[in-house]
Chains A and B, each alone.
Chain A
């Protein structure tokens, strides 16, 4: 029992393979299922052989590196897009067809319209609103390129004025800068896919710190690739900051809004990505001089302050504190001495006075005159004979010396 596919149609098997005709017939059927479609694309090639009723076109996707062959009757072309030239943007109504003879596929168009500039610009505006709404232009998503990039990635047309401007000005400002250039077509149908590839290459190059997308001035059509949605999304997706320098000051393709930095011209881009060495070194010297001055003034001020303290009398002339005290001591000593004198003199006076008193009271003068003092053993001075009994030992004190006598008897 041969197995069948969903529709009950018998499957091909190794043992019972389908012949080519059956396969190509099935393929044709599948392809036809797509039916009529409106297609937007860019004309890469047109081949109109004189006399031939059928015209062949190569239609490219505006962003991706894909294309399809289109066949159309000459009248269809003449009606919809008379002087169609390569590079033109068209919209066509076509149906895919499979030619079994050579197994080729192409679109058969029954209507071709050339997309005018106005229409293109209108689409551009619509895309601009869409991207803005999605936040691709959001300021906070923009990253600042490094002050001094190790390496600059430059995507620009080969040997173009833009390339020369960016290289010359960047090197003039910072001679040591390292620039990796990727040359790409900057207009026409192949521009967008190649720029997107170049962006990927540079974004993945870790040594590249900033990517510059530079293109000189050009017609609106020339600059259209730089408003392409896929390119804008690619720029937005870059991890490395992107500087867009497209066209003249007045040109503002959509990539300008998405890029991290918008430079008005390729020369301006140079100013944005590298500092000016001369200017920077001048600033550094200036800063260094100001540093020196600031430190010097601070040190001088502090030194003066310390010297001021050192010269304060209490430190400079410590002797002062000793002198003062020495003077005090001397003064005190003097006072002490003087008060001593006074006191001594007074004491002396007092002594003399007391001695005089003593002498006045003392019996010495009387003794001098020949009197004597008689005392009993008990020290009592005898004033009356009755105070003495015979045999008492008495002490007779004379002016000079004394006698020990014994009383005999009382006289009358």
Chain B
């Protein structure tokens, strides 16, 4: 599942597990670093979905007010 096709829910679920694993610790430095990077990327993906949704709503509303 490449990151692009990750749905919002999938990204959010993975983000939750990454944070959990980071907080429970016990992984090597290399792993923790990789986990941290993954966490940041997933958060960006989620944010991307949310911003996209907000844009779509705004454009729809603008279209509606212009159209009405």
Binding site for B on A (CB under 8 A): 288, 292, 295-296, 299, 302-303, 305-306, 309-310, 312-315, 318, 321-322, 325
Contacts and interface: CB of A to CB of B under 8 A. Distances in A.
B36 A325 contact: no
Interface in B21-62: 22-23, 29, 32-33, 36, 39-40, 43, 46-47, 50, 53-54, 57, 61
A292 B64 CA distance: 12
A315 B57 contact: no
Contacts of A315: 19, 22, 36, 39-40, 43
B39 A305 contact: no
A297 to B, nearest CB: 12
Given A306-B12, A315-B43, A325 B29 contact: yes
A302 B16 contact: no
Given A310-B43, A315-B39, A321-B36, A302 B50 contact: yes
21 contacts: A292-B61, A299-B53, A302-B8, A302-B46, A303-B47, A303-B50, A306-B12, A306-B46, A306-B47, A306-B50, A309-B39, A310-B43, A312-B19, A314-B22, A314-B39, A315-B22, A315-B36, A315-B40, A321-B22, A321-B33, A322-B29
Contact of A306 (B33, B43, B53, B54): B43
Contacts of A321: 22, 29, 32-33, 36
Interface of B: 8, 12, 15-16, 19, 22-23, 29, 32-33, 36, 39-40, 43, 46-47, 50, 53-54, 57, 61, 64
A306 B8 CA distance: 11
3 A-B pairs with least C-beta separation = A314-B22, A318-B36, A306-B46
A299 B22 contact: no
A299 B23 contact: no
Nearest to A310: B43
A312 B61 contact: no
A66 to B, nearest CB: 59
B11 to A, nearest CB: 9
Contacts of A322: 29
